[in-house]
Amino acid sequence: MSTNTVYANILTELQEGILTITLNRETKLNALTLGTLQEIRAAVQSAQRDPLVKGIILTGSGQKAFAAGADISEFAHFTEDQATRMSADGHDVMNTIENSEKPVIAAVNGFALGGGCELAMCCHMRIASENAKFGQPEVNLGVPPGYGGTQRLIQLIGKGKAIELLLTGDAIDAQTALNLGLVNHVVPQEELIARSKEILQKISTKSPVAVGKVIKCVNDFFRPNVNGMQREIYEFGESFITEDFKEGTDAFLNKRKPNFPGK
């Protein structure tokens, strides 16, 4: 299990079915190295296989930053081929998180800039502390975002505002992010993890099978050449042969709380 794995750049802790993954480079404002991204992917993949994990929180150490971008010193002298591979690998990490069948909440505790904003956006929900700031400042370095920022920001806040933020490189505060639909909730710093856990604990009382199917269907809305309506029809029908469906309907008819087996 991921909680028994020793990582160099992240910490993992499993409590009451919730796996918390903490970026652990506080002195570097949790800037994302290639190694850090690989460790995040490994932890999320491990969580998919662990029946004890019902949901995941992704956050940063300290109170200043979730992740203040990619570690520029690591790629400043990359060749075109190296940069292309870096972007492709980053996309794979973000897709792994987005396609997790267990809900992932980004608990954004400060700066979420560049790659940090992209990391937050690939999570299923974002809870922000009052001091959080979001932005895609890559144009200041002479590059576009490389980890999906040009695509997910549009999905979350619409083309007009997204292209303004992408072209100006401006950062926005937590309240503005809430107003734009980039984050789900804004809370005081000291309540950030508790609020994230509260949401995941509520989700954990629902059918894990249904939760995973909802995530698949929602993700398919944004995939090219994929019919999300057909996906929903398929997932709905398939759910009728699951133990979760039998338990859920029996509990409803007998006026009791369901105890979903997740099968």
pLDDT in tens, 156-180: 999 999 999 999 999 999 999 999 9
Residue 118 annotated among the catalytic residues of the structure: yes
Residue 138 annotated among the catalytic residues of the structure: yes
- State the catalytic residue, choosing from 118, 232, 235, 247: 118
133-162 pLDDT, tens per residue? 999 999 999 999 999 999 999 999 999 999
pTM: 0.94
- State the catalytic residue, choosing from 39, 98, 138, 247: 138
What mean pLDDT is predicted for residues 34-57? 96
Per-residue buried b or exposed e for 216-234, using 16+ beta carbons within 10 Å of the residue's own CB: bbebbeeeeeeeeeebbee
- pLDDT surpasses 60 at 202: yes
Task: Identify the pLDDT of residue 251.
Answer: 93
If pLDDT is split at 50, 70 and 90, which confidence band does 250 have?
very high
- pLDDT surpasses 70 at 4: no
